[in-house]
Amino acid sequence: MIFTVAVDGPAAAGKGTISKALAARFGLAHLDTGLLYRAVGAKGGDAVAAARGLEPADLARGDLRSLEAGAAASRVAAIPEVRAALVAFQRDFARREGGAVLDGRDIGTVICPEAEVKLFVTASPEVRAHRRWLEVGGDAAQVLAEVKERDARDMNRADAPLKPAPDAVLLDTSDLSVEAAVAQAAALIESRLQGA
């Protein structure tokens, strides 16, 4: 069975948590595509060469969840040659036998426009900043400013801007528990699997 679930959304909306839970629940492979960009940004140097030479071990770095790695990821993701180098990897993963869940910012619009399920997970900037602050600490006002700055950069980049696919289902997690958000997403997948 080839079955792709594309989960897009801004930073700290819950897409990674939801994606991992869905993959486990349905026995699908999972790829956090943001890790690819975080790894390229964290490697430093020539971003295009780093993207072309990316290896699985690069995704296991301990510093990929830091605010610095997130900011670096957003910067390198705006480079068309970096995006092109990582597209084939993501598309191959998405259409693997057994099905896959991919989360990122352009999965439903660019990487897998043919995905059987497309979710756009979002939450208010304030809720997302608070979640990120709980995760990484620091100054709460600074974290909010960084979330808003990253949103602007991701939504306004020329190549593959962050936006919901026209046929994506919007899932606002601002007032949802993790369990409730996963349940809503799982119900959508169940209905698509039954129709497949």
Q: d(Cα 22, Cα 38) in Å, to the nearest integer?
A: 23
Residue 10 in marked binding region: yes
Q: d(Cα 155, Cα 134) in Å, to the nearest integer?
A: 24
Residue 15 in marked binding region: yes
- Listed as own residue / partner, the contacts of 161-167 with beta carbons closer than 8 Å and 24 or more positions apart are 161/106, 162/8, 162/9, 162/10, 162/105, 162/106, 163/109, 164/8, 164/108, 164/109, 164/118, 164/120, 165/6, 165/8, 165/108, 165/109, 165/113, 165/118, 165/120, 167/108, 167/118
Residue 9 in marked binding region: yes
Residue 12 in marked binding region: yes
Q: d(Cα 46, Cα 103) in Å, to the nearest integer?
A: 25
**Annotated binding site for ATP: which residue ranges?**
9-17
**Annotated binding site: which residue ranges?**
9-17
